[in-house]
């Protein structure tokens, strides 16, 4: 049997790390595009890495950036993947209001650069686009594949562009290109400036006596939070179908930020009201009030169903933080000035 080759952009991110694990377990050879940084940015995949000289090595990393189309085309020629999972993006909604131009370049045009590179190299590979529930924005829940888009952030706007670019390449060139429209999904590997991880870290650190309060913004927003490790399975299934199509992936249940906070603090026996303070710098110029995904198509066609819902997710994320603190991983769990800048 021939071994399948996958190229993952964003392999160093939350989803990229879980997807790399999944594909390696399925016997794939995995290539990942990594952007150059002055510090190491591979912590989430270090446990998967083997020296490329090792005959057992099946994961290979390559430098590349979404803003560099020439490099992307060269990488595709070199790797010749069967499947491309395009997960890289400037993915922070709040930051996208500060950096709308870069977000558009990276998150919107980056997708066109990849699609165009696939088209011009003529590779018969399948393409997955990491689309987002942020595209639905102000459209009322429950949101499904036919719900109109009304994005509420530069990030959402960029993802709508990338969604349509993916559909256009499918329709215009017959490419196997799909959109996975994923609702919020979280894990202990979530970036520390997203609200679930920020709150899980704070609950654990407050319990351990390392800090006293955490500053948050809008507690009324409602999100449909699932578990990232389960969502990458849906991505893979989308690329194994006979025909390319787009799918919503979600739990179908929403909770307010306040409820998520309550779950995290209750898990460590604390009353959140004693420890949560408001800071308006975490508000967004325009917000999304309620996202609830209808993933019935993914259940029907892909056979995909989530099992971890928000209350369990909150507990598992807090437990992971407590474990980290128990093992003396205080440095990584401690907010730094740089993290504070981007909204921790
Ligand atoms: P993440 O943790 O923020 O990871 C983003 C990845 O993109 C990282 O590997 C990052 O590299 C890379 N990246 C950023 N800018 C880049 C550039 N200019 N060139 C190359 N790589 C770049 O995001 P995630 O939560 O795993 O999400 C994966 C994808 O799904 C993203 O496209 C996101 O927008 C989308 N999405 C996420 C959710 C969710 O709830 N998590 C929901 C819907 C859609 P560094 O590690 O060097 O920063
Ligand atoms: O915010 C509110 C905030 O930053 C969730 C990305 O993965 O999911 C993610 O985007 C909610 C918002 O995620 C704080 O206003 C309150 O209503 O965790 P978040 P997000 O904006 O939903 C979508 C689907 C993606 O595609 C994105 O890539 O929480 N909130 N207080 C806060 N949010 C943050 N970050 N920090 C706070 O202090």
Q: What is the pLDDT of residue 150?
A: 98
Give the model confidence (pLDDT) of 249-278 as tens digits: 999 999 999 999 999 999 999 999 999 999
Question: What angle do the packed helices 154-173 and 110-121 form, to 10 degrees?
Answer: 20
What sign for the dihedral angle of Cα 318, 324, 328, 331?
A: negative
Question: What angle do the packed helices 110-121 and 69-79 form, to 10 degrees?
Answer: 40
- Is 155 a catalytic site residue? yes
CA of 61 to the centre of ligand 2 (A): 29
Q: Which residues of the chain have pLDDT under 70?
A: 327-344
Superfamily of domain 5-186+224-249: NAD(P)-binding Rossmann-like Domain (3.40.50.720)
Q: Which of 119, 19, 117 is nearest to 59 (CA)?
A: 19
Q: What is the pLDDT of residue 1?
A: 73
Tokens 């309550």 -> residue: 262
For 6, 23, 77, 340, the CA distances from 57, given in Å and listed in that order, are 14, 14, 21, 38
Ligand 2 in reach of 132 Cβ (< 6 A)? yes
Q: What is the pLDDT of residue 326?
A: 86
- Is 132 a catalytic site residue? yes
Listed in sequence order, the residues at least 6 apart from 266 whose beta carbon sits closer than 8 Å to its beta carbon are 272
Rounded Cα distance, 123 and 100, in Å? 32
Give the model confidence (pLDDT) of 294-342 as tens digits: 999 999 999 999 999 999 999 999 999 999 998 654 434 444 444 444 4
Q: What is the pLDDT of residue 135?
A: 98
Ligand 2 atom having least distance to the Cα of 283: 15
Ligand 1 atom having least distance to the Cα of 191: 2
CATH of 195-223+255-290+311-340, one of 3.40.30.10, 3.20.20.105, 3.90.25.10, 3.40.50.2000: 3.90.25.10
Q: What is the pLDDT of residue 157?
A: 98
Rounded Cα distance, 247 and 296, in Å? 9
Pocket test for ligand 1, best of 89, 108, 185, 188 (most atoms within 8 A of CB): 89
Q: What is the pLDDT of residue 73?
A: 98
For 48, 172, 265, 291, 322, the CA distances from 260, given in Å and listed in that order, are 31, 43, 9, 14, 17
Residues touching ligand 1 (Cβ under 6 Å) are 10, 12-16, 35, 37, 41, 65-67, 87-91, 106, 130, 132, 182, 184-185, 191
Domain boundaries, the chain: 5-186+224-249, 195-223+255-290+311-340
Which residue(s) pair with 180 in the sheet?
130, 247
Q: What is the pLDDT of residue 142?
A: 98
- Is 134 a catalytic site residue? yes
For the chain, the straight-line distance linking the first and the last C-alpha, in angstroms and rounded, comes to 47
Rounded Cα distance, 96 and 117, in Å? 26
Question: What angle do the packed helices 257-267 and 310-326 form, to 10 degrees?
Answer: 50
Contact 134, 286 (CB under 8 A): no
Strand pairing report for 126-132 and 214-216: unpaired
């Amino acid at each position: 049997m021939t071994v399948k080759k996958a190229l993952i952009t964003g392999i160093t991110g939350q989803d990229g790390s879980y997807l790399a694990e999944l594909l390696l377990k399925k016997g794939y050879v995995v290539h990942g595009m990594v952007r150059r940084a002055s510090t190491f940015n591979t912590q989430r995949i270090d446990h998967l890495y083997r020296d490329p000289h090792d005959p057992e090595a099946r994961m290979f990393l390559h430098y590349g950036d979404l803003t560099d189309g020439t490099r992307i085309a060269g990488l595709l020629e070199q790797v010749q993947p069967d499947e491309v999972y395009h997960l890289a993006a400037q993915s922070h909604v709040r930051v996208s209001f500060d950096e709308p131009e870069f977000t558009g370049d990276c998150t919107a045009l980056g997708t066109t650069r990849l699609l165009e590179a696939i088209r011009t190299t003529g590779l018969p590979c399948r393409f997955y686009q990491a689309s987002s529930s942020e595209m639905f924005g102000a459209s009322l829940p429950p949101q499904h594949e036919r719900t109109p888009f009304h994005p509420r952030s530069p990030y959402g706007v960029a993802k709508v562009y990338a969604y349509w670019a993916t559909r256009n390449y499918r329709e215009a060139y017959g490419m196997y290109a799909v959109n996975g429209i994923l609702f919020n999904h979280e894990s202990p590997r979530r970036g520390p400036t997203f609200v679930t991880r920020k709150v899980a870290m704070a609950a654990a650190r407050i319990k351990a006596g390392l800090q006293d309060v955490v500053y948050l913004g809008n507690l009324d927003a409602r999100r449909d939070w699932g578990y990232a490790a389960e969502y990458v399975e849906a991505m893979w299934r989308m690329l194994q179908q006979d025909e390319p199509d787009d799918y919503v992936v979600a739990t179908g249940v929403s909770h307010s930020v306040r409820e998520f906070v309550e779950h995290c603090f209750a898990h460590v026996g604390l009353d959140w009201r004693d420890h949560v303070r408001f800071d308006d710098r975490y508000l967004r110029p325009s917000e999304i009030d309620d996202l609830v995904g209808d993933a019935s198509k993914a259940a029907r066609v892909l056979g995909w169903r989530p099992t971890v819902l928000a209350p369990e997710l909150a507990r598992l994320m807090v437990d992971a933080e407590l474990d980290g603190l128990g093992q003396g991983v205080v440095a990584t769990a401690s907010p730094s000035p740089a993290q504070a800048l981007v909204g921790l």
